[in-house]
A and B are shown apart, each in its own frame.
Chain A
């Protein structure tokens, strides 16, 4: 409550309005690949708004990594469409790495 400080102006001790953050388990990132040659890379379109960018990434990646298996994949679930479906997960987990977007 207000108390007299050195000046005539009152001083207040105030309580903190912030809530506590819950405890969380954190997980490390997956190990990276040494190279992409011979690997299956899923370019995953979650229907975030700009489909053409994801299509172009797949095409450009194929050109940059000719020995890679670049798979352009449009999910059934994802952005605003609920969680990924079992079929989505099966396709994603069949790959060695993933590029996800477009995050617009």
Chain B
């Protein structure tokens, strides 16, 4: 929460602050995390009714005055180094049910009417992470169990938690993974796993594996690639979620409070080996023989579809393969413009290369960037125009990115919709034989080597 961080930053510069905040437990929880990140235990807050139609808060003015003038308590005066005690290595000993109850946590801690959330799991039973199982899991990597992984916040770059290779193995056991998955999991944590985001926006997480390890671990890149059933895809995705809960300092429903949440929370699958454009590993700057993990997060939307879902096809060929016009229409439906996703089956990708002439992935990215546009007047009418305009003004005139030149155009002139450039439109080739495609969005993806974690 930017507001909480700014409030804490101002306090640190010697200015007393009263933070106006929605009087809502979730919002306050996010703010509290923001204060702690800035090293301020708590900022004085004045809770106001959580209502977007609210226009005035006159009756709260005495509380603002009080927050700025009431002398500090001893607790508020405290400063120095805070070192929370590390968690014990052994969690507990108990029966299967007792183990499950321990990881689930005391669900009665939630007030009446508030749906409970599991403490250290995704809500489902987990495999008990015993010494023996964890040791077996660790056989999947050459890295030492006590090797430290500093878990950084994807959005702020700050170190949130200190994990180890062994902690990854513990979560991997709980998720039902096999030792061979460890390099993928370590790469996943390196990229932040499913950490959520300190926002009430409904963000999510998705991971795509590109390269030989997908085949080695038996990941699915073929028919029903997005559906359940494949042990590697499913347990990797689950481990991503568990690592997000246990290793990143994030807490779903506390520090990440999407009003709807996201049904893509750890979705993990493999890229097809039969892409006519080469793999994402190469597109991300690695070699075709390297295994690479690509992490997608933020506002993830993914619509598996066929052409008829977007725009009426005129013939069977167009129905099966779609057309560039259909894809442009589809991407224009996305509500987020910090990046885009395109998912093609290998056959569809081949047709797009052979029939539509997109010889490289980059050519298709460029085409989409230039054609998925909105008008200058639509941009100006956006409720967050102030932020979009500020970003545009940071880009050089004459560049392809949204820049000050675009802001000077007539109302009807097209301006770029995908804010951060063609490379943020990711083309993923996966799925079974035949023709299908999907589209969606995510914030800017990041990639890392899986092989270095072998």
Interfacial residues, chain A to chain B (CB-CB below 8 A): 1-2, 5, 9-36, 41, 44, 46-50, 52-54, 56-57, 60-61, 64-65, 76-82, 84, 89, 92-93, 95-104
Contacts and interface: CB of A to CB of B under 8 A. Distances in A.
A56 B76 contact: no
Most buried by B among A32, A60, A101: A101
A1 B132 contact: yes
Contact of A60 (B10, B56, B95): B56
B33 to A, nearest CB: 12
Given A36-B68, A81-B390, A46 B249 contact: no
Given A14-B91, A17-B170, A48-B3, A33 B69 contact: yes
A16 B20 contact: no
Interface string B230-250: 000000000000100011110
B82 A23 contact: yes
A95 B18 CA distance: 13
B96 to A, nearest CB: 7
A54 to B, nearest CB: 7
Contacts of A32: 16, 68-72
B190 to A, nearest CB: 13
Contact of B20 (A2, A52, A99): A99
18 contacts: A12-B93, A12-B99, A12-B130, A13-B90, A14-B128, A15-B170, A17-B167, A17-B171, A19-B246, A23-B83, A26-B80, A32-B70, A41-B68, A53-B56, A56-B58, A93-B13, A99-B19, A103-B27
Contacts, number: 263
Given A16-B170, A20-B87, A27-B11, A102 B40 contact: no
A22 B83 CA distance: 7
Which of B1, B18, B72, B103 has the most A CB atoms < 10 Å from its CB?
B18
A92 B10 contact: yes
Classify the interface of chain B: helix, strand, loop or mixed.
Answer: mixed
B: interface residue count bin: 35 or more
B167 A30 contact: no
A98 B187 CA distance: 43
Contacts of B52: 49-50, 104
A12 B20 contact: no
Contacts of A14: 90-93, 99, 102, 128-130
A55 B366 CA distance: 44
Interface string B74-87: 00111111111011
Contact of A79 (B3, B31, B102): B3
Contacts of A64: 61-62, 65
Contacts of B22: 103-104
Contacts of A61: 61, 64-65
Nearest to A64: B61
A26 B40 contact: yes
A46 B2 contact: yes
B180 interface: no
Interface stretch (B158-166, B220-228, B372-380): B158-166
A45 to B, nearest CB: 10
A16 B90 contact: yes
A11 B20 contact: no
Nearest to B128: A12
A91 B69 CA distance: 21
Interface string B95-114: 11001001100000000000
B86 A99 contact: no
Contact of A21 (B128, B131, B249, B387): B249
Given A53-B54, A64-B62, 11 more contacts: A12-B95, A15-B89, A17-B242, A18-B87, A19-B164, A22-B161, A26-B39, A26-B80, A29-B44, A80-B384, A99-B20
Contact of A19 (B76, B162, B390): B162
B398 interface: no
Given A78-B6, A80-B384, A101 B128 contact: no
B4 interface: yes
B80 A29 contact: no
B56 A29 contact: no
Contacts of B88: 16
Interface string B299-315: 00000000000000000
A36 B68 CA distance: 8
